[in-house]
Structure 1
């Protein structure tokens, strides 16, 4: 039979159309499925339309609002016979006509906006209208539900519930998981994730030789029980709570909020339930018969910047401080960008300016002042103040590391007896009050009903109520981000309409509900993740996975992540043997290039000159590095540490030449290399054995033959060089405050120090793999 040319032409056309649709990311198999407003349509409208047709009443063009069904379906203001959206009829929907118009005067978005819908986006809107244009509440404002575990093909792979959700998504994308990582990789990964420190040689040997089936789980439990766990978790919370050791602004004098940092470490180590952890920080002073520990926790609200400049307007800065408290709460705990509504209704989320100042009202009832005198009268804490006495530390606040008998002053919260009136501020200006409002929360999130008192305690109860759709989701997402490098919702601080959609929405909801059902148990949440097969995968890359999932959104491999700034310092200190494990206490001033503070100071106050610490205080963990807000410590900033001037929930990860220069030239790295080299030469007669031992200490694994050969060759080159030029060699190793044993100075010491510096500069050294 001869082929029918008409039939062949039709097949070619169909195949061509299928190819084009595939290029556009539309799966023809899904054509019969419902288009979701939340996951398909709202992101398009939010990016392209809501600026002029969204929640902000002041910016709505043509009276058309597209974020609410009732408004979108209504007749147009200027054309009563036309409607924005007509469900089931795209030809009668003015929105569809506008987004497909060839007339630049009618086309939406207008060409002047530099926005343009893709063919795929237009197709999705058309399909959505055909299917009834059904609106859905924003996913993050709906209470999470614990759905049934999805079915997966590779049932043997899953260790727990997390894996079912992850594997189901993988299989839907034609991906398969990596095999489990080897024991040395897993131990280093676990140790860095839980304690922020590399595993000791003793721990490496113990784990390697433990052949029991539960060896991995016991290691997870052991590391979670270590006191260093609290220090690792505290780094995240210091960013959220914008902890610093100075006030900021021009004079930037010293402050003593560090007992709050010690409390956070203590709370994590004691596995304080997250709902209690939040309640104490928001309103610990309002608990019945509140003790000093509960009051100390409220320093969370007082970590913002303070001015000590002369001539400022007291009320202006008092308002600034309340705004900061409001923004920190909404971003760090609720994952919302409420600060957008300080000056006007939110352009994308259903949060009005009234909503914003109702939230602001919760924090507007303290005796805090905007200005407390000039720098000559500077105090290490601002009113209201918690005084911590020696007896408090000996009895209740035993976690505070304070060696002398002097009192400590901490800025905390206190409630006025007579509530202060709160007004909506026109354009957010302190001197432009308009309508009076009372304490309340956005109704779009969760109703603040009569069972909650109208104060910070009520806000804390509302926040930790199991009906609140955000609190558990946001914290689970933060923990996920800490471990995998990106949250299930990548926009960690924005669960609103402009935020990213969750990559695994059912998993996020399952974890959030399970977290609340467990009694808000943080260590249990972490253990669930660490025990999963998802976490235990190898990080080995292959071309197929890079092509299909370059960002590892679907977790078919373990991520490779450079360590946070504080933990890079910790790794160098711990692996070299320099680490001072002392916990808590006043922040310390390690090595820093000369003149940094002096170049950015008013010339007044206790912090006008940088006075470096000495002795063992130089070797404290990165968590304890002194943070001056106007001149943050350079090494952490170069490695993407937080400025700490505002609440921060997500650090970037950059790769810059400055980072390489730090690892090559920082006095701490050079001192650590020399110190470790000296110790290894004292215990290893053969330099080759010393090189291998150094590699194991830093990398957490044994070197392969090629690696050890390269390092030995480099050692020999350096040894020969410094045998001829020891003067240069002495200059290289004479770094840092740790005394240098002059009797042991030799070409071997210098050469081994150089080799160790080279190991520290390998990517793997400061990368979790």
Structure 2
């Protein structure tokens, strides 16, 4: 990869990259990446007692439930292995045999089949390309011998607060979280890392709570504060900053599939951005999570609903819309309701129910009837699949809400709107005098209605009490936050854990069903879920609890023994090294260079991007046919505000694994590709930020060494080590010599970006320091939480 990059760079870039490589070798901790086929299963199957939930069900779900699970239409031989009653019963085709005989593996037909080598008898059948390992077979036999006790799916059992476990070192714990983590580490014979370096912890906290690096002032004050509660004070200070809401909104925009265009062929502009302003406001105000979700699901159905509560329902309307003539409106209207249903289930209750649109779920106890019962909660809106004349594109689709000038001085004072025009936002509404009937759709096809259903929820999760809840979206919200709902609190707690540790306690954050990952710390997840609910659904309380833990505050140093025992860091014997999200990489560059705009909210902006991308992915009609780059302050807005066109998402965020916002996403991938390295080396923003910061340091009269040290502090958030500083100074001297010898190359180097040049810009000193800063931005540690 290094050779690929070097061979595709100009000579100055190759020269800089050689020094960058040296810096990387000195300053980056090399760590081993292992496959995810880690020791999770081995750890879970250790010990004497085999659990159906944690040991047996995952094996059956992966290998057997497709033919012997909840889907009645695909079930073979009438046998359900996910049901105790069916698994114990006499086999339909052989009444003298039983699939499972508790306490007797030898008489259990399932054991004979999974051990068989006869292709006509063996299970799973050869054509399935599935095969149980020897360990999996022994696990099933051991479970049967112990009585083959079935258990309800762990995620469908309401969480409880178990007592804190005993550990080898109770003094290590900062709060309850640490007792559960250390108890698991004790089982593995591992010890947690030492506390993180103070400056590295500050960078971690600042990036996690604001999406921005700490300022020089904050670094100095924290470093000088030796009090016992210094870190607690920093957490409280960062939680109170307006940038906290912006940082949290990045996550929620992925969940809410927010975009600035409609998608499909014409992909014209829409104005949902006041909803984004509301999300920022809600997080900063610390709106309780139950209120936050209730308003988004059903704010319009609340008694005497105000405009803020109605605006929140734009959450449901952020999906794609077609503006293409000739479509079948009902087909797209159904598609929009399906999207709402799937978004609710994945984001709020952590269940992937969409396959039940066409048939009963193959793995989870969710029937097609259940699916369309949930669908019916969203099916009573006057929303249309197609609104008519393709030549007229409106920035919002009915039902709509107008944001007017008087609203900005009252209930919607958090909306950043600079002119006097009204804004249209797509929101929710229900028919008042009629009720749209909902039918199960045969194979999920829009024009194939079969049996009529009414609003309800899967009983396997929690029965919908029609005497307690109205049969509308408000009733769905009340069901979602019922005290005995087993999923809602767990799912959000897990989502927050994922934000700060890179992976959730349940690593499949959008799937708590049978095919989802098992929780690595089930008792901890349940304790946090109950604690969160008992706090009054206090989001900042939950976040502070996680970030105050010794688990979070330990160092990210990698130890060989820990790598061997827990290669994927499931059990957190160290803090994980996590590359920043795409938006926060942009924010770090803008903030450290001094370019960043602190304006909060408002319409999305169009920063630098390669020419021709939009033009190559458009029908050639409408306001978004051509990309018109913004100018001035708008070029330096945070990544949250970058314009998202669905048919041509902004390239820099996509290169760094940003969401394309087509559908609800609760987890982003983290990849390493040559494109990312090339983007960091050549992105106009990186070059412009390096030039502006170099220019400012020289204008302030900083000596070379001092300027490099301060830049390193601003970007890396710590002092450079002696060897790092020596390499950077050496590189600076070489670049300074080169620019003095070839002054004609200076202007070409420093004119990157739109920020104006001044008398300090077009000098060898600025150009040389700029090259050093580009190198620092390209150190892996710059865009990594450590």
TM-score range (shorter-chain normalised) is over 0.9
Inter-CA distance 134–283: structure 2 relative to 1 (3 Å threshold): same
Q: Where do residues 422-501 of structure 1 align in structure 2 (5 Å cutoff)?
A: 422-449=438-465, 450-501=467-518
2:169 to 154, 160, 179: 154
Asked whether 1:183 is paired with 2:198, we answer yes
Asked whether 1:536 is paired with 2:553, we answer yes
Asked whether 1:697 is paired with 2:710, we answer no
User: Which residue is equivalent to 1:589?
Assistant: 606
Residue 251 of structure 1 contacts residue 375 of structure 1 at CA under 8 Å; is this kept in 2? Answer: no
Q: Any idea what the Cα deviations from partners look like across 1:423-471, whole Å, max 9, x if unmatched? A: 0000000000000000000000001012011000000000011211000
Q: Any idea what the Cα deviations from partners look like across 1:563-603, whole Å, max 9, x if unmatched? A: 00000000000000000010000000000100000011100
Q: Distance in 1 between matches of 2:317 and 2:45?
A: 54
Q: Distance in 1 between matches of 2:217 and 2:105?
A: 69
Inter-CA distance 745–42: structure 2 relative to 1 (3 Å threshold): same
TM-score of the aligned structures, taking structure 2 as reference length:
0.94
Q: Distance in 2 between matches of 1:348 and 1:591?
A: 46
Instruction: Compute the displacement of 1:238 (Å).
Output: 0.4
SS of residue paired to 1:502 = coil
Instruction: Compute the displacement of 1:510 (Å).
Output: 0.1
Instruction: Compute the displacement of 1:374 (Å).
Output: 3.5
Q: Distance in 1 between matches of 2:93 and 2:174?
A: 60
SS of residue paired to 1:123 = helix
Q: Where do residues 168-567 of structure 1 align in structure 2 (5 Å cutoff)?
A: 168-417=183-432, 418-449=434-465, 450-567=467-584
SS of residue paired to 2:555 = coil
Runs of 4+ in 1 over 4 A off after TM superposition: 26-29
Q: Any idea what the Cα deviations from partners look like across 1:40-68, whole Å, max 9, x if unmatched? A: 00000000000111110111111111000
Inter-CA distance 681–441: structure 2 relative to 1 (3 Å threshold): same
Q: Distance in 2 between matches of 1:27 and 1:446?
A: 28
Structure 1 unmatched runs, 5+: 1-21
1:670 to 675, 684, 687: 687
Q: Distance in 1 between matches of 2:44 and 2:766?
A: 63
Residue 26 of structure 1 contacts residue 120 of structure 1 at CA under 8 Å; is this kept in 2? Answer: no
SS of residue paired to 2:496 = helix
Inter-CA distance 228–653: structure 2 relative to 1 (3 Å threshold): same
Residue 88 of structure 2 contacts residue 100 of structure 2 at CA under 8 Å; is this kept in 1? Answer: yes
Q: Any idea what the Cα deviations from partners look like across 1:155-197, whole Å, max 9, x if unmatched? A: 1101110000000001101110001011101110000000000
SS of residue paired to 1:595 = coil
Q: Distance in 1 between matches of 2:162 and 2:612?
A: 58
Q: Which has the higher contact order (CA 8 A, sep 6+)?
A: 2
SS of residue paired to 2:551 = coil
SS of residue paired to 1:424 = strand
Q: Distance in 2 between matches of 1:744 and 1:495?
A: 55
Residue 361 of structure 1 contacts residue 439 of structure 1 at CA under 8 Å; is this kept in 2? Answer: yes
SS of residue paired to 2:402 = strand
User: Which residue is equivalent to 1:48?
Assistant: 63
Q: Any idea what the Cα deviations from partners look like across 1:48-99, whole Å, max 9, x if unmatched? A: 0001111101111111110000011111111111111111111111111000
Q: Distance in 2 between matches of 1:431 and 1:308?
A: 21
User: Which residue is equivalent to 1:128?
Assistant: 143
The number of equivalent residue pairs is 746
2:769 to 752, 757, 760: 752
Q: Distance in 2 between matches of 1:165 and 1:213?
A: 24
Inter-CA distance 747–342: structure 2 relative to 1 (3 Å threshold): same
Q: Distance in 2 between matches of 1:58 and 1:24?
A: 31
TM-score of the aligned structures, taking structure 1 as reference length:
0.96
Q: Distance in 2 between matches of 1:35 and 1:208?
A: 50
Instruction: Compute the displacement of 1:25 (Å).
Output: 3.8
Instruction: Compute the displacement of 1:684 (Å).
Output: 3.3
Q: Distance in 2 between matches of 1:661 and 1:443?
A: 52
Instruction: Compute the displacement of 1:29 (Å).
Output: 7.5
Residue 207 of structure 2 contacts residue 213 of structure 2 at CA under 8 Å; is this kept in 1? Answer: yes
RMSD over aligned CA atoms reads 1.2
Instruction: Compute the displacement of 1:213 (Å).
Output: 1.4
Q: Distance in 2 between matches of 1:669 and 1:148?
A: 50
Instruction: Compute the displacement of 1:728 (Å).
Output: 2.1
Instruction: Compute the displacement of 1:249 (Å).
Output: 0.2
Q: Distance in 2 between matches of 1:215 and 1:76?
A: 66
Q: Distance in 2 between matches of 1:177 and 1:52?
A: 44
Q: Any idea what the Cα deviations from partners look like across 1:124-170, whole Å, max 9, x if unmatched? A: 11111111111000000000010000000111101110000000001
Inter-CA distance 27–336: structure 2 relative to 1 (3 Å threshold): closer
SS of residue paired to 1:52 = helix
Residue 367 of structure 1 contacts residue 415 of structure 1 at CA under 8 Å; is this kept in 2? Answer: yes
SS of residue paired to 2:158 = coil
Q: Distance in 2 between matches of 1:63 and 1:530?
A: 50
Structure 2 unmatched runs, 5+: 1-38
Residue 580 of structure 1 contacts residue 621 of structure 1 at CA under 8 Å; is this kept in 2? Answer: yes
Instruction: Compute the displacement of 1:34 (Å).
Output: 2.3
Inter-CA distance 128–743: structure 2 relative to 1 (3 Å threshold): closer
Mean alpha-carbon deviation: is it higher for 686-695 or for 481-490? 686-695
Instruction: Compute the displacement of 1:730 (Å).
Output: 1.6
Residue 328 of structure 1 contacts residue 647 of structure 1 at CA under 8 Å; is this kept in 2? Answer: yes
Q: Distance in 2 between matches of 1:45 and 1:427?
A: 26
Q: Where do residues 591-610 of structure 1 align in structure 2 (5 Å cutoff)?
A: 591-610=608-627
Q: Distance in 1 between matches of 2:413 and 2:679?
A: 37
Q: Distance in 2 between matches of 1:498 and 1:373?
A: 42
Asked whether 1:90 is paired with 2:105, we answer yes
Q: Distance in 2 between matches of 1:703 and 1:666?
A: 25
Q: Distance in 1 between matches of 2:401 and 2:46?
A: 64
Instruction: Compute the displacement of 1:687 (Å).
Output: 1.2
